[in-house]
Amino acid sequence: MFKKVLIANRGEIAVRVIAALREMGIRSVAVYSEADRECLHARLADESVCIGPPPAIQSYLNIQALIAAAEVTQSEAIHPGYGFLAENPRFAEVCHDCGLVFIGPDASMMEKLGDKIAARNLAHKAGIPILGGTLDPVADARSATALARKLRFPVILKAAAGGGGRGMRVVTDEREFEPVFLSASEEAEKAFGDGRLYLEKYLENPRHVEIQIMADRKGEVLYFPERECSIQRRHQKLLEESPSPAVTPSLRKKMGECAVKLMKMAHYEGAATVEFLLDEDGLFYFMEVNTRIQVEHPVTEEVTGVDLIQAQVAVAAGERIAPLRKRLQPLGHAIEFRINAEDPKTFVPSPGKVTGLVWPGGPGVRVDSHLYAGYTVPPHYDSLLAKIIVRGADRAEAIRRARRALSCTVVEGVKTSIPLFLRILDNAAFAQGDLSTRFLERQAIV
Ligand code: MV4
């Protein structure tokens, strides 16, 4: 096993990884920008190294600085967390070339699965359901319009290199196809340096359901209970839960086996998430693969008892995942709330000094956070302050605990999304598990 691991990240996920490493008896090395000297991850780690000025491009995205920090501390491996360089093939490659273990898939795997057209083709070859559409990049608006007519409008154009909804457009009418195609392609080219688009039939009101998998070097792949991530705003998830209120044991098995088949075919190693859309008839369609640990991994941990970060580290060190096999049935229900420093009505970021702080505790409540009273939330990075995760014997109990935990939380000095969550928890459709990616607009919550 590794003796020392560097964490190429900040905030709550850096704190979370330090916790996993400490339990494993592995020394942790934090990196921090000049804006993060006072950050909890830099204080908690066994060693800390400053890697540059506040802008992420000069610090948390600065590959040279990160590698230098790993070398001076004699770290053997790097955990990338999520965001920043977690899905950057060049970073994985440089780590490898410098003799450092990147805790994640290798660069070529990341490239293959990060290309959504390639991933869609792989899923198709594996016999996994995909939505009707193109398997090749759309060459020109005219041929694509003909296909869209066959699929029937609405259709959706997506960027091969896509992420965060950029380069993505719903097209409802044949006449707007060409201009929309051109603007989406231009946007994708600007954002990713890759203007390739593909086309899919558009689902009007789907759920977003995803399967966590873990794969070891010997080719064993396990799937975990699904996460329901439908409640989001502008492609930012607000809360996630496991299991999904819409998924039966037989559907869980089908989706899980599809995810495993795909990742076996890819010869994947490490943690990944296979995303699906689920329609109102209970049919599911492959969407994309994330090759990192995700923000919402704790709900899976809470219903299975598996520490996914420790599993990632163990797999990267060459260990087998067989011992996890007996812990893959969901026990109870978990919900995660992403507490952001932002106005709960306008979603405008609200950085500043946290003058008062009280976290909830008690049965079934977990808080993953880097906050402490007196900490100043810097304006340079994303506004996630904390994740409050509740667990109950069933969904109704988890909801009651969530109401109790969130109403007993105090974060003074910055605005947070807590009031929004209290409104969602009192919504009748939410209580019934009647969710979709359009939940917030349909329920007139925002
Ligand atoms: C879709 C879709 C409906 N039909 N594809 C959004 C993020 C990107 N990964 C894919 N997304 C969607 N793809 C088809 N064919 C609806 C969405 C979508 C969505 C998906 C998951 C969670 C939130 C969403 C919000 C808006 C649209």
- For 80-126, the pLDDT digits (tens) are 999 999 999 999 999 999 999 999 999 999 999 999 999 999 999 99
Supply the residues annotated as catalytic.
Answer: 292
**What is the CATH architecture of 132-201?**
2-Layer Sandwich (3.30)
| Domain ranges within the chain, ordered by starting residue | 4-103, 132-201, 207-442
- For residue 290 and ligand 1, the question of a CB distance below 6 A is answered with no
- For residue 161 and ligand 1, the question of a CB distance below 6 A is answered with no
d(CA 248, CA 92): 37
Choose one of 237, 278, 435, 437 to mutate for the ligand 1 pocket test, by most ligand atoms within 8 angstroms of C-beta.
437
- For residue 155 and ligand 1, the question of a CB distance below 6 A is answered with no
- For residue 287 and ligand 1, the question of a CB distance below 6 A is answered with yes
If you average pLDDT over every residue of the chain, what do you get? 97
Q: How far, in Å, from the CA of 236 to the mean position of ligand 1?
A: 11
The yes or no reply on domain 4-103 and CATH 3.40.50.20 is yes
**Burial zone of 401 (CB within 10 Å; 0-12 exposed, 13-18 middle, 19+ buried):** buried
Choose one of 232, 235, 237, 285 to mutate for the ligand 1 pocket test, by most ligand atoms within 8 angstroms of C-beta.
235
Beta bridge partners of 223: 213
**CATH superfamily for domain 207-442:** ATP-grasp fold, B domain (3.30.470.20)
Q: How far, in Å, from the CA of 276 to the mean position of ligand 1?
A: 9
The mean pLDDT value for 190-203 works out to: 95
User: Model pTM greater than 0.85?
Assistant: yes
d(CA 242, CA 261): 22
Atom nearest to 230 CA in ligand 1: 22
pLDDT tens-digit series, residues 291-347: 999 999 999 999 999 999 999 999 999 999 999 999 999 999 999 999 999 998 899
- For residue 171 and ligand 1, the question of a CB distance below 6 A is answered with no
The mean pLDDT value for 408-413 works out to: 98
Beta bridge partners of 228: 209, 241
The mean pLDDT value for 13-20 works out to: 98
- For residue 119 and ligand 1, the question of a CB distance below 6 A is answered with no
